[in-house]
């Protein structure tokens, strides 16, 4: 709309200038001309033709608008009065290949883990690499994606009368209290679309390399837009108190077990080819950065460590806690039972313990039996 308006303006201005130029030219000729009556006639003729050209142009524009309206109307179908019968055929333009193999351990916010890398692999049959030209000029970009791991996605294909989404979601920070879905970032929304921001690292053909991501491997991407600090960052923006209470917890320390390095070296030969990381030591820094935040859910955190913890699968809770943590408890020789947590990065299973003072010990790393989108 804006484009056609500006084209229209340009066109009008051009015509107006042309008309002025002609008038000027004719007025200069006037002195030499046989009769000024003839010139005036010519001017009137030109003015009339300009007027009709402008009218024709306006009519064409009206016609275009009417055609667009008709198209929209026909798309929505003759029987549909309700908005809900409309759908828009949007398909992912790219798939995320990220270091986070599962939701467990995927950061709760973007930019928390600087070394969290992902490549967005664009479908080059639909989106030519030239579409990415110029994006490297921005430090950050927005990513609009689909919550493809929602267990209730099949609802989307049901008639809306049968696919009622929950208007309110449980918010862990409110200790079971509920909040309207649009006051949260819950993945369980009428349109399961997520929004995040990431650092633009590089563009290689049809691949966009990012860091600081909070995206799980395999995430379908709907759109990418540049981050504009002058309008996307709002000074003095406020949030409700219950959101302020969701402090992200940092752990006291992260230490690695003695045998860890050699275990990582063993795994690395398998992981190396597909890795977003250059070396085992860089990968170790990633592990350290991910585990420097307490990535356990609130319920896992609040339970005593010698108590078996069960995963809350499929529960409708806020974004921050739907990350499914799977764990098993293991008995130790001294009789003290401690929970072993697992974090899966690039298909490697990192096992760790955390004590009551939030010191993390990374126990071991093995090739995970978990095989999702890594093939
Ligand atoms: C972990 O390492 C830090 C030094 O980085 C050390 O001060 C701390 O005592 C260690 N914690 C444990 C539990 O070993
Ligand atoms: C680490 O895992 C590997 C492979 O499962 C195993 O052989 C090794 O004993 C483990 N190391 C430790 C310290 O548990």
Quick one: 120 and 216 in the same domain? yes
> Can you tell me the distance from the alpha carbon of 238 to that of 115, in angstroms, rounded to the nearest whole number?
29
Asked whether 253 lines ligand 1 (CB < 6 A), one says yes
**Residue 101 CA to ligand 2 centre (angstroms):** 21
Instruction: Report if residue 363 sits inside a domain.
Output: yes
Q: What is the pLDDT of residue 89?
A: 85
Q: Which of 256, 364, 366, 367 has most ligand 2 atoms within 8 Å of CB, for mutation?
A: 364
Quick one: 68 and 108 in the same domain? no
Q: What is the pLDDT of residue 77?
A: 54
**Residue 264 CA to ligand 1 centre (angstroms):** 20
Quick one: 220 and 339 in the same domain? no
For the purposes of burial, counting CB atoms within 10 Å of the CB of 148, is it exposed (0-12), middle (13-18) or buried (19 or more)?
middle
**Residue 337 CA to ligand 1 centre (angstroms):** 21
Q: Which of 255, 263, 348 has most ligand 2 atoms within 8 Å of CB, for mutation?
A: 263
Ligand nearest to the CA of 358: 1
Quick one: 252 and 143 in the same domain? no
Q: How would you write the pLDDT of the chain (375 residues) with one tens digit per residue?
A: 444 555 555 555 454 545 544 454 444 444 445 567 888 888 888 888 888 888 888 888 887 777 777 766 666 555 444 455 577 889 999 999 999 999 888 998 899 999 999 999 999 899 999 999 999 999 999 999 999 999 888 888 887 777 777 899 988 777 778 999 999 999 999 899 999 999 999 999 999 999 999 999 999 999 999 999 999 999 999 999 888 876 777 899 999 999 999 999 999 988 888 899 999 999 999 999 999 998 876 666 665 443 333 333 333 333 333 333 333 333 333 323 378 899 999 999 999 998 888 899 999 999 987 654 443
Quick one: 212 and 271 in the same domain? no
Quick one: 65 and 17 in the same domain? yes
Quick one: 98 and 227 in the same domain? yes
Instruction: Report if residue 173 sits inside a domain.
Output: no
Q: What is the pLDDT of residue 236?
A: 94
How many other CB atoms sit within 10 Å of the CB of residue 182? 11
What is the count of structural domains for the chain? 3
Instruction: Report if residue 156 sits inside a domain.
Output: no
Contact of 258 with 361, CB cutoff 8 Å:
no
> Can you tell me the distance from the alpha carbon of 296 to that of 321, in angstroms, rounded to the nearest whole number?
8
What DSSP assignment string belongs to 311-357? --TT--B-GGG-SPP-EEEEE-TTS-EEEEEEEEETTEEEEEEE-TT
Asked whether 49 lines ligand 1 (CB < 6 A), one says no
**Residue 260 CA to ligand 2 centre (angstroms):** 9
Place of tokens 């399961």: 192
Supply the DSSP symbol for 225. E
**In the chain, at which residue ranges do the beta strands (DSSP E only) sit?**
94-98, 117-122, 140-146, 168-170, 178-180, 193-204, 207-211, 220-226, 253-256, 327-331, 337-345, 348-354, 359-367
Quick one: 286 and 350 in the same domain? yes
Going from the C-alpha of 19 to that of each of 12, 49, 57, 58, the distances in angstroms are: 10, 10, 16, 18
Cβ within 8 Å of residue 215, ≥6 positions away: 96, 98, 100, 106, 118, 143, 145, 196, 198
Q: Is the pTM for the entire model greater than 0.75?
A: no
Quick one: 111 and 221 in the same domain? yes
For ligand 1, atom 9, the nearest C-alpha belongs to 253
Q: What is the pLDDT of residue 225?
A: 98
How many other CB atoms sit within 10 Å of the CB of residue 300? 20
How many other CB atoms sit within 10 Å of the CB of residue 50? 15
Cβ within 8 Å of residue 207, ≥6 positions away: 119, 120, 121, 122
Contact of 186 with 316, CB cutoff 8 Å:
yes
Residues with CB under 6 A from ligand 2: 257, 259, 263, 364, 366
Ligand nearest to the CA of 266: 2
Instruction: Report if residue 138 sits inside a domain.
Output: yes
Instruction: Report if residue 88 sits inside a domain.
Output: no
Contact of 129 with 205, CB cutoff 8 Å:
yes
Supply the DSSP symbol for 212. S
Quick one: 125 and 16 in the same domain? no
Instruction: Report if residue 351 sits inside a domain.
Output: yes
Quick one: 302 and 350 in the same domain? yes
Domain of 142: which CATH number? 2.40.30.70
Domain of 328: which CATH number? 3.30.2310.20
**Residue 269 CA to ligand 1 centre (angstroms):** 29
**Residue 102 CA to ligand 2 centre (angstroms):** 22
Going from the C-alpha of 174 to that of each of 170, 238, 241, 315, 317, the distances in angstroms are: 8, 18, 10, 15, 11
Instruction: Report if residue 237 sits inside a domain.
Output: no
Domain boundary among 48, 76, 104: 76
Quick one: 68 and 122 in the same domain? no
Domain enclosing residue 309, as ranges: 247-374
> Can you tell me the distance from the alpha carbon of 95 to that of 221, in angstroms, rounded to the nearest whole number?
6
Q: What is the pLDDT of residue 62?
A: 81
> Can you tell me the distance from the alpha carbon of 309 to that of 303, in angstroms, rounded to the nearest whole number?
8
Instruction: Report if residue 72 sits inside a domain.
Output: yes
> Can you tell me the distance from the alpha carbon of 90 to that of 114, in angstroms, rounded to the nearest whole number?
31
């Amino acid at each position: 709309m804006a484009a056609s308006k500006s084209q229209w303006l340009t066109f009008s201005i051009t015509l107006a200038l042309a008309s002025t130029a002609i008038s000027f030219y004719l007025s200069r000729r006037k002195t030499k001309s046989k009769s000024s009556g003839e010139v005036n006639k010519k001017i009137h003729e030109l003015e009339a033709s300009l007027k009709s050209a402008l009218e024709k142009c306006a009519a064409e524009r009206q016609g275009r608008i009417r055609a667009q309206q008709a198209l929209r109307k026909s798309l929505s179908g003759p029987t549909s009065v309700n908005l809900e019968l409309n759908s828009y055929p949007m398909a992912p333009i790219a798939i995320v290949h990220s270091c986070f193999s599962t939701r467990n351990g995927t950061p709760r916010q973007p930019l928390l883990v600087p070394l969290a890398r992902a490549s967005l692999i664009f479908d080059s049959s639909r989106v030519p690499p030239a579409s990415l030209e110029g994006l490297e000029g921005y430090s950050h970009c927005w990513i609009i994606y689909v919550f493809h791991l929602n267990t209730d996605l099949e609802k989307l294909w049901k008639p809306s009368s049968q696919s009622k989404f929950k208007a309110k979601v449980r918010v862990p920070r409110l200790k079971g209290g509920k909040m309207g879905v649009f006051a949260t970032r819950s993945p369980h929304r009428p349109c399961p679309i997520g929004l995040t921001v990431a650092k633009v690292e590089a563009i290689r053909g049809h691949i966009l390399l990012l860091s600081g991501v909070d995206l799980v491997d395999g995430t379908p991407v709907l759109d990418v837009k540049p981050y504009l600090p002058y309008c996307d960052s709002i000074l003095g923006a406020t949030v409700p108190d219950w959101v302020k209470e969701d402090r992200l917890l940092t752990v006291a320390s992260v230490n690695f077990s003695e045998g860890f390095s050699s275990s990582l070296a063993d795994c690395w030969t398998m992981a190396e080819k597909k890795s977003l990381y250059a070396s085992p030591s860089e990968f170790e820094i990633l592990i350290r950065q991910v585990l420097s935040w307490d990535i356990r859910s609130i319920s896992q955190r609040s339970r005593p460590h010698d108590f078996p913890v069960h995963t809350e699968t499929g529960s409708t809770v806020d974004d921050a806690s739907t990350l499914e943590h799977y764990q098993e408890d293991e008995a130790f020789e001294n009789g003290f039972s401690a929970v072993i947590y697992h974090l899966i990065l690039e298909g490697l299973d990192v096992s760790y313990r955390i004590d009551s003072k939030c010191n993390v010990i990374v126990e071991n790393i093995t090739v995970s039996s978990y095989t999702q989108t890594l093939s």
